Structure 1
Amino acid sequence: MTALHDLTALEQGALVARREVSASELVEHHLERADQHDDVGAFVTLTADRARARAAALPAVPPPGASPLYGVPTAIKDLNLTAGVRTTFGSAAFADHVPEISDGVTSSLEAAGLISIGKTNTPEFGSPCYTEPEVAPPAVTPWDRRRTAGGSSGGAAAAVAAGLVPVAQGSDGGGSIRIPAACCGLVGLKPTRGRISGHPMYGDPVGLATSGSLARTVRDAAALLDVLAGRRVGDPFWAPEPSGSFLAACERDPGRLRIARFIEPVITDVEVAPECREAWEATSALLESLGHEVVDVPRPLPREAVPVFETCWSVLTAMSVVPPEREHLLRPLTRWLSERGRAVTGPEFGLAIGAMRRFAAGALEALAPYDAVLTPTLAMRPPLVGAMRDDDDPAADFQAQKEFTPWTSAWNVTGMPAVSLPLHWAEDGFPVGVMLAGRPAEEELLLSLSAQLEAAAPWADRRPPGW
């Protein structure tokens, strides 16, 4: 018998629209799931009473033009401000922090009629690519609960992959949506720079980070992007309006595309695991079988771009200001990165931003002839919990992270949209993600191609242990 959590987010929304199931029924079902089945470290805080009240207050009939996700339960990453709800930023230094305002992402979800049942787990200030904060248990993939769910949207990915919510928002400054999507067998979509507003805090002056979608299907991810997308007055940059909805783009044939591919790691030398290489090769063959041209290209970013990215990353970490009397509560990695960031002068930071934009321009020019770019998402299977974390040697911790995910940050530098898809499965059934990036502001084409791949090699019926 099909249970509510077996349904996609769009299927659940369709039940609400037809008044076959109420938003309150969906919320109760998923709250029970989160209460009884969160052995994956998905949530930092559950907001059961708030979710029930919001569901009860929603009109039973969606208003004209409502999102197809109206009435669907979701969750909000613990980096995103939510008025009146504890928001810790994954840090013991903010364990009791309750903001007075919500950010634009939270407001967009609420305005569309989605109902958050809680705050999802994230590492301290969203910096590491694993989720092992002091304020919650580690987030693990339900495909192997010994292994990390990735980060920084590890809790969001674990929640969706374990069926605790059907779709969730994440954020991505160096791969933080796509990494956990690959770890958890999901679709993880990082949209183009400026597609989703950073209102009202605008905390990333570099332009690396954006919110995006974590979902079990391409169409669910697209529908959530429709909810989150849009510019606000005061945004420092924005993407042009799409031709229609992102969900509608999933119904279009992408046509015959030229797709570049490379596998050489971008940010550090590391041996690519055989199953990750196999996923890349198999996806290349699948693309060719669908009529696309696949072309090998050189790595588009030089290694000289890496220290520039690290300078910016360190300064962004240092911008997470903590009261002096609480700095001792920070993790060693955070303190190490912050010290690196504070050592950067204002002119040095400005020069790094300029250099990064020149590197990005070079990559965009090199890739302009191609409709998409294919790489693995990760260089290896998700490590065991604690394997990357090294509190005694933060530099070794940081290096281990680079070896785990040597491609994802390239598309944060260029601002291109990128998606991780669970197109390959290892012999033991573990998901292996591959990543496609598109030209700036061409999410519609990227989603059309992703939907075509999903139709050719469907994955939505696969379920992790304990589902």
Structure 2
Amino acid sequence: MQDIEKFTALELWERMHAREISSEEVTRAFLDRAERLDDHGAFVTLTAELALERARALDNAVDRTALLHGIPTADKDLQLRAGVPTGFGSRAFAGFVPPESDALTQQLDASGTVSIGKTATPEFGFSGYTSSLATGHTTIPGHPGLGAGGSSGGAAAAVAAGLVPVAPGSDAGGSVRIPAAACGLVGLKPSRGRIPAASGLGSIGQLAVAGSIARTVADAALLLDGMIPREHGSTVHRTTLRSPELDDGSLLASAIRGDRPRARIAVLTGSTPWEEFCPTPVGDEAKAAVETAVRELTAAGHEIDEIQMPHLAGYADEFVTLWHFNAAALPVSAEQVELLEPLTRTFIESGKRITADRVVNAQRRFVEFERAVLAAFAPFDAVVTPTTALTPRPVGWHGDDPEENFRRQCQYTPHTSFVNVTGLPALSLPVHALDDGLTMSVQLIGRPGDEAGLLALGRQLERRIPWRERVERGFQQ
């Protein structure tokens, strides 16, 4: 079958389910592409033998009804897969091979995926770009001087180059949405608690959740569906409140149908939560992306309003407190600390000086921030922001000085982290094409637990803006 890389995950599943093509054939095709065409640092490890063994087992299975049966994907190098080297983007963990897989990896396996390797991440996923001393730079396919965003930059670069059809990522401050935006893809960050294996509920600040990166809204939904355990079509574990009309519904169905009656949508204007920390001007390209989305949503019949970002006094200080405290909890020895990058060491050193009462106060303030944002957003079905305030940044733009580096990360993506703090779902969509082949994205933020509504809106925009074809035109052969 020609041009396998141009089939979506859903299209591949349909053909494998009909036995028109085997999982082994599909897996071989994507492994071949990854081996030949990954000149942008998407992968840190390829596991060809394991992947082909897995694909053959799926081909021999009687039951082919798993949501992601036979679909090639790849694990972010923060995920644990038994027997596969996991470096966390760090020289300190070179050669580490976990004896067991983590819960998310196990769930993706249960849904039928075939992992072909590990995708690049910055050290411990701490930055919004993907570069590390351990694995080098990850860049946008076709744009070797521009960073692919982070921290799921390897996952996004792999999808954007047609090396896998979909890829999971993790998102604690924008780490799915930022690289999806940089690479012209769809990035879906679910509500806190939606994905039981990576819910965010067990971490300090409750920030990090699993998410999906894909070329289409339907594929992003399909991968997220595969992260949720189900029996007989119903979820078997739920920690997120859902409205009755959405209960147990397939996110994929919402993404395919795009049925969303007239919605009330707000465009977020005014300052960002990081203004007290550093200026965060929004570039003309980002403004143009919002204008494109608003124009198309209006044409689709939705009501558009404006809303000011509520003032979140002290937001930056509290976010940094919990970010650094989490870094201080990393299981690294004194010898390993010497191998860490300056940014990570700075976070750890700062985190170790933070007292328990400071952490408790920061978490209390996070709850206050969450309530303020939820109250402001309550009248609306969705809120629109730029995903990134600036165009994709050149490799090295963030610099080596830890303080300036973090400041620049905030300037590039000032609208993403507060969505993690509030636990809301968000969908990044590449709506606006630039003359140089790059795209700018908008972020749709939904009501708590309303991934289905976001995906329906995303599908409506996708019908009006052909971003899938834009990505596939850039595939190398």
TM bracket, shorter-chain basis: over 0.9
Q: Which residue of 2 aligns with 1:115?
A: 114
Amino acid at match of 2:192: R
Residue in structure 2 matched with residue 254 of structure 1 by the alignment: 260
Preserved contact between residue 41 and residue 136 of structure 2 (Cα < 8 Å): yes
Q: Which runs of 5+ in 1 are unaligned?
A: none
Measure how far apart 1:358 and its partner are: 1.1
Does the 8 Å contact 2:131/2:138 carry over to 1? Answer: yes
Q: C-alpha distance in 2, partners of 1:223/1:466? A: 22
Range with greater deviation from structure 2 (328-337 or 190-199): 190-199
Change (3 A) 1:371 1:62: farther
Residues 305-364 of structure 1, C-alpha deviation per residue, up to 9 Å, x if partnerless?
Answer: 221111111111222121111110000000111111111111210111111111111110
Q: Does the CA contact (< 8 Å) of 2:267 and 2:384 recur in 1?
A: yes
Task: Determine the structure 2 residue equivalent to 1:314.
Answer: 324
What does 1:48-447 correspond to in 2, within 5 Å?
48-60=48-60, 63=63, 65-67=65-67, 69-198=68-197, 204-230=203-229, 237-240=239-242, 242-250=247-255, 251-264=257-270, 265-268=272-275, 269-390=279-400, 393-447=401-455
1:329 counterpart SS class? coil
- The Cα of 1:3 is off from its aligned counterpart by 0.4
* Structure 2 unmatched ranges of 5 or more: none
Instruction: State the SS of the aligned residue for 1:347.
Output: helix
Q: Given the superposition, is the C-alpha separation of residues 317 and 367 from structure 1 closer, same or farther in structure 2, using an over 3 Å criterion?
A: same
CA contact (8 A) 2:73 2:166 kept: yes
Give the corresponding residue for 1:15. Answer: 15
Per the TM alignment, residue 184 of structure 1 is displaced from its structure 2 partner at its CA by 0.2
TM-score, normalisation: structure 2 = 0.93
Do the aligned partners of residues 201 and 185 (structure 1) sit closer, same or farther apart at CA in structure 2, a change above 3 Å counting?
A: closer
Q: Report the alpha carbon displacement of residue 279 of structure 1 after superposing the two structures with TM.
A: 0.7
The offset of 1:34, in angstroms, is 0.5
Most deviating of 336-345 and 264-273:
264-273
1:361 to 1:295, Cα distance in 2 relative to 1, 3 A: same
CA distance in 1, matches of 2:26, 2:224: 21
The more displaced of 108-117 and 262-271 is 262-271
In the superposition, the TM-score normalised over structure 1's length comes to 0.95
Moved more, 197-206 or 232-241: 232-241
How far 1:267 sits from its partner (Å)?
Answer: 1.6
For 1:419, what is the secondary structure of its paired residue?
strand
- The alignment covers a number of residue pairs equal to 464
Supply the distance in 1 between the matched residues of 2:220 and 2:238 (Cα, whole angstroms).
25
Please give the alpha-carbon distance, in whole angstroms, between the structure 2 residues aligned to 1:83 and 1:234: 25
Does the Cα contact within 8 Å between 2:240 and 2:449 map onto a contact in 1?
no
> How many angstroms apart in 2 are the aligned matches of 1:367 and 1:412?
15
Q: Is the 8 A contact 2:200 2:209 kept in 1?
A: no
Q: 2:205–2:421: 8 Å Cα contact kept in structure 1? A: no
For 2:94 and 2:201, locate their aligned partners in 1 and report how far apart those are by CA, in whole Å: 23
Alpha-carbon distance in structure 2 between the residues aligned to 1:58 and 1:445: 33
Using the alignment, how far apart are the partners of 2:286 and 2:62 within structure 1? 43
Identity rate of aligned residues, in percent? 46
For 2:413 and 2:352, how far apart are their aligned partners in 1? 25
